[in-house]
Homo-oligomer: A and B are copies of this chain.
């Protein structure tokens, strides 16, 4: 292994000078810099990140904690991750995806081992044990999503409230009056998931404000459960003409279930999927109209916020909300008649 010592010897300077040149941390004369750079080139020097981390007490690695309990990484999550990784790279950091069970103990392990400077938390629950642990151990972190009371914490999140309003505006704009909402139930991969709860309450309030009747359904996050939800919908509210779905997998089941019940989409029933991605929505037949989760932006902003904290630019919590964007598909249409 080629070390700074070797480079220093060959360039006939002190090891400190080599450090200053590679890090630009102190001015070095052009002549010396050239000698050092040539020596590095000739020897094929690559600085040892571990040693650097130990000496500087910063690893320049940030971890994206993802809950290992989750069986499927949605297209949204992957986009999010990819965008976060790119942003981190641009800012001089390396982002790694760290699978962690929801149990807080593991969080401490990784964190206090000093292998990462900071943590990005995704799939945050309203009451998240991991968050408590991170606060306790004073690990710098930012959340994608937010806890029930996120004051003082840094987060970026989907603007569920405005997204829900926009979704309802769209559906009522088409002429729908009987609009149901299907979400995940308590057994979901992420219990007490903020967007679910916020969407439900906004939906309730908005329907009320518009003088419409709220019909709330919930089911597990599987196509099978979505199928059963179709049955339930027809039984409980047979005159429904549109469904908003915040449950990617169930959306497929709902669609299939309706077809089996002889209800055509979008002819008899419109379906609007919320918080999904176009790639996944395209699997359905007809392709789902959807409100696209702003995964790229969330990833980028999450990393930016975290790095700001790591570099001391942002002391107090930074809050950002981003709306979902509308994406036209073939699963929505004006109601019959």
Contact = CB atoms under 8 A, between A and B. Distances in A.
Contacts of A110: 94
A71 to B, nearest CB: 7
Contacts of A94: 98, 110, 115
Q: Please tell me how many copies of the chain the complex holds.
A: 2
Interface residues of A, number: 50
A99 interface: yes
A256 interface: yes
Contact of A47 (B96, B97, B113): B113
A149 interface: no
Given A46-B113, A115-B61, A282-B222, A73 B78 contact: yes
A80 B48 CA distance: 30
A319 to B, nearest CB: 27
A95 B68 CA distance: 12
Interface string A29-71: 0000000000000000011111101100001010100001011
Interface string A225-267: 0000000000000000000000001001000100100000000
Nearest to A252: B283
Interface of A: 46-51, 53-54, 59, 61, 63, 68, 70-73, 75, 77-79, 81-82, 85-86, 94-99, 108-110, 112-115, 222-224, 249, 252, 256, 259, 279-280, 282-283, 285, 287
